[in-house]
Amino acid sequence: MRKEVAGLKILVVGRGGREHAICKKLNESVLVEKVFCAPGNAGIAEDAELVNIDEMDFAGLADFAERQDIELTVIGPENPLAAGIVDYFQQRGLAVFGPNRKAAQLESSKSFAKELMKKYQIPTASYAVFEEYEEAKAYIVQHGAPIVLKADGLAAGKGVTVAMTLEEALSALEEMLLNQKFGEASSKLVIEEYLQGEEYSLMAFVQGEKVYPMVAAQDHKRAYDGDKGPNTGGMGAYSPVPHLPADIVEQSVREILEPCAKAMVKEGCPFTGVIFAGLMMTKQGPKTIEFNARFGDPETQVVLPRLESDLAQVFLDVLAGKDPQLKWKEEAVLGVVLASEGYPGSYQKGVPIKGLDEIEQATVYHAGTIRSEKGAICSDGGRVLLVAASGASVEAAQQQVYREMKKLDQPGFFYRKDIGARAIARFSF
């Protein structure tokens, strides 16, 4: 019925919850005939045809795209982008959505991003870059705690230490510069001012100087309730963020995202794709914590379900330099991550997940799952899956998600019980 219009074949590259959300949304498109995902996971298999090719096997992916007459390839994760997958596809004449290697530096080099922000006066924490241990130590001692240390390169979201004491800062410094905790990625460090305020995430489709913002979301980075415990890749998220000032998205676009897109053009590396801004609402206004050169995870799983417009059309329009239509649903969406016991430290893999079939009034986005030989869905990572529900308010969505999450209560897994609490507490005052 709905597939007769254009018959597009799209390949999504990646294997996480973000890619699951992109595949699901593309399936709603009237333009799309078939979605492939490489390499995907056990849950994505329900929404796309899995292709067993690694994200970093550029030649293998491009060969597949050619052979199958794929009209568009969408890149999910940062590693292939940083390694130049887009440049490679373009050289082979294949349509691909994402920034090239040079533009992906916005994420792959924190010092590149910081220098860009300084040069173009984009609000961010004040900072300095170091490669020498003694110089970095002197800077930390001079500035005192709290202070933030960041590995320059990609470190799977784990290269940041927010040090509340001098001792913590010095021990993190030793780990990164002397002990090379993150290898090459931490041979260079950004040390920056600690920002205080409300954190939020804002993604935008970007084509050169043009910026088309999505709706804002809030992530929960710490492992345990009450924002306690170690930093993770994200334990849950929701959108909208009702306790942010109403004009904050507009201000963030005007003061941060648009100047960033313009700066990339001026620097000779125009950006095409999605820019993710991790932002802090401080007393002086919004400031940038980080830029990513791709959709965020888990933010995408709560933002894309709110998109009323056709995502495939949006990708095509952005690539063609046309203004995409972005219409958003009024509803709230909230998602909670089911994680393996022990994450973000060591954990077991291959544990069967019970209760998935009973989830009815929510959407499950798989991140680290695998189907066993007997056909059971088993864990295959630290963040296993995310359960998302929609509602008329963040509170309604939260209640719905937690009703469903109860069905997943079992040994070997855990989840935070307070996703969305900050929004709801403020709401009811």
Contact residues for ligand GLY (CB under 6 A)?
157, 219, 234, 292, 296-297, 299
Among the listed ranges 4-12, 71-79, 189-197, 318-326, the one in contact with ligand AMP (CB under 6 A) is 189-197
Judge whether 208 and 260 are in contact, CB under 8 Å.
no
Helix (H, G, I), strand (E, B) or coil at 64: helix
> Which of the choices ligand GLY, ligand AMP, none does residue 115 contact, using the CB cut-off of 5 to 8 A by kind?
none
Nearest Cα neighbor of 388 from 419, 412, 413 is 419
195 in contact with ligand AMP (CB under 6 A):
yes
> Which of the choices ligand AMP, ligand GLY, none does residue 297 contact, using the CB cut-off of 5 to 8 A by kind?
ligand GLY
> Which of the choices ligand AMP, ligand GLY, none does residue 125 contact, using the CB cut-off of 5 to 8 A by kind?
ligand AMP
Judge whether 243 and 427 are in contact, CB under 8 Å.
yes
315-318 long-range Cβ contacts below 8 angstroms, 24+ apart: 315/72, 315/74, 315/97, 316/31, 316/72, 318/97, 318/205, 318/206, 318/207, 318/212, 318/272, 318/273
Our CB check for ligand GLY shows the closer of 71 and 78 to be: 78
Binding pattern for the stretch 118-147 against ligand AMP, x by CB under 6 A and - elsewhere: -------x----------------------
Our CB check for ligand GLY shows the closer of 258 and 297 to be: 297
Our CB check for ligand AMP shows the closer of 279 and 311 to be: 279
Binding pattern for the stretch 157-176 against ligand AMP, x by CB under 6 A and - elsewhere: x--x-x--------------
Instruction: Give the whole-angstrom CA distance, residue 394 versus residue 396.
Output: 6
Measured from each CB, the residue nearest to ligand GLY is 296
Beta strands in 165-307 (DSSP E): 189-193, 198-207, 210-213, 218-219, 222-224, 228-231, 236-239, 272-282, 285-292
Name the one residue in this structure whose structure tokens are 């590693």: 79
Our CB check for ligand AMP shows the closer of 160 and 316 to be: 160
Minimum Å distance from CB 81 to ligand GLY?
A: 13
221 in contact with ligand AMP (CB under 6 A):
yes
Give the CA-trace dihedral at 373, 44, 59, 8, to 10 degrees: 130
Minimum Å distance from CB 343 to ligand AMP?
A: 16
Gyration radius from the chain CA atoms: 21
Judge whether 160 and 135 are in contact, CB under 8 Å.
no
Name the one residue in this structure whose structure tokens are 């009815």: 360
Residues in contact with ligand AMP by CB under 6 A are 125, 148, 157, 160, 162, 192-195, 199, 221, 231, 278, 289-290
